[in-house]
């Protein structure tokens, strides 16, 4: 299962992208996006997110 960022919760701070070991997170239009094909389900993004935006699909 990959993680997905809830665009309604994401504050576009970029903390998650800096912690992603496979660079699966990129900037979207006002929020960050996780590429499900690259996500290894490590959970680093969810651990550091200040607003709990990344969720497992």
Question: The CATH number of the domain where 50 resides is what?
Answer: 3.30.70.20
Q: Which two tokens stand for residue 28?
A: 């979207």
pLDDT tens readout for residues 9-22: 999 999 999 999 99
Domain that holds residue 51: 3-56
At 34, is the secondary structure helix, strand, or coil?
strand
Contact 57, 3 (CB under 8 A): yes
Q: Which pTM does this prediction carry? A: 0.92
Contact 54, 25 (CB under 8 A): no
pLDDT tens readout for residues 21-57: 999 999 999 999 999 999 999 999 999 999 999 999 8
Number of domains the chain contains: 1
Contact 16, 45 (CB under 8 A): yes
Query: Using alpha carbons only, how large is the chain's radius of gyration in Å?
Result: 10
Q: CA-to-CA distance for 54 and 47, rounded, in angstroms?
A: 9
């Amino acid at each position: 299962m990959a993680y997905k960022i809830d665009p309604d919760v994401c504050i576009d701070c970029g903390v998650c992208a800096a912690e992603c070991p496979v660079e699966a997170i990129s900037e979207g239009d006002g929020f960050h996006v996780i590429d499900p094909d690259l996500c290894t389900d490590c959970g680093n993004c969810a651990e550091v997110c200040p607003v709990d935006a990344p969720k497992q699909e």
